[in-house]
Structure 1
Amino acid sequence: MFFGLTIEKLLVIGVIAALLIGPERLPRYAETLAHLTTRTRDFLRNAKTRVQDEMGEEFEDVDWRTLDPRRYDPRRIIREALLDDAPVPTVRAASAGAAIEATGTPPPPPGAIRGFAPNETPPFDGEAT
């Protein structure tokens, strides 16, 4: 099967194309199709060779079946992600925990707008544009 087309369907499409194109132009179109098919096959063969040359010995180690999108199963991916170990706390999370312990209130989230007291002057950078 070729992209879901069977031989019978391809034969019907070929007969309809032959009737629409006509017997005068059919040999020229068939020759063009054969030339295009040959060029496409050569291009794909050269692309495979280039990929093998670029990847080197690692190309033989790749399991291409695992990269097949038809094998994508979101349930399996989620299950594996949930079974992984818990993420390691980052430095930012550790420092936020220390700030909560010291002051009793959590620090504002990054990018939060901080209010100023009525007599407090906001910072100003004269070199900023």
Structure 2
Amino acid sequence: MGFGLDFEKLLVIGLIAVLLIGPERLPHYAEQFAKLVRRGGELLRDTRSRVQEEMGPEVADVDWRKLDPRQYDPRRIIRDALFEDSAPAPIAPSAPVAAPAPTPPPAPRVMPVFTRTSPPPFDPEAT
């Protein structure tokens, strides 16, 4: 059964309900529960027929199990995408380009030291 309920748990819940409700009110509550279950079934059937009416006859041909996201393994999807054989885009031949001149390394930055007499600059727009 769904929600982790098995027969034994349902039996215990039923016995507790019988003890709490009592024999006088039990038939009334059983009737209300039966009406609730019937109404839920009607709502499910109405919803299914409405979906078929609005989506058309194509919705009957859809295999919903194939679209279940629980069947996809993210590791497999990533592995397939990484090892997919895709041809690289062809590179158009171009004229030879001269190598750029080497740039000198940047000068090392000197971090300023702030004291009580020379506090750091204040930026009112920073906060």
Report the TM-score when normalising by structure 1. Answer: 0.58
Note the alpha carbon deviations across 1:82-125, whole angstroms, 9 max, x for none.
Answer: 35577xx9xxxxxxxxxxxxxxxxxxxxxxxxxxxxxxxxxxxx
- Residues 22 and 38 of structure 1: CA distance in aligned 2, closer, same or farther (over 3 Å): same
User: Equivalent residue of 1:64, what SS?
Assistant: coil
Runs of 4+ displaced beyond 6 Å: none
User: d(CA) in 2 for partners of 1:8 and 1:15?
Assistant: 11
1:45 maps to 45
1:3-14 alignment runs, 5 A limit: 3-14=3-14
RMSD: 2.6
2:79 maps to 79
- Offset of residue 61 of structure 1: 2.2
- Residues 33 and 84 of structure 1: CA distance in aligned 2, closer, same or farther (over 3 Å): farther
- Offset of residue 4 of structure 1: 2.1
Larger deviation, residues 33-42 vs 72-81? 72-81
Structure possessing the higher radius of gyration over alpha carbons: 2
2:64 maps to 64
- Offset of residue 68 of structure 1: 2.6
- Offset of residue 67 of structure 1: 2.6
Note the alpha carbon deviations across 1:29-57, whole angstroms, 9 max, x for none.
Answer: 11111000000000001101111111112
Larger deviation, residues 45-54 vs 72-81? 72-81
User: Equivalent residue of 1:66, what SS?
Assistant: coil
Number of aligned positions between the proteins: 90
User: Equivalent residue of 2:2, what SS?
Assistant: coil
- Residues 57 and 83 of structure 1: CA distance in aligned 2, closer, same or farther (over 3 Å): farther
Residue identity matched to 2:13: I
Residue identity matched to 1:49: S
* Structure richer in helix, relative to its length: 1
Aligned-residue identity in percent: 66
Residue identity matched to 2:5: L
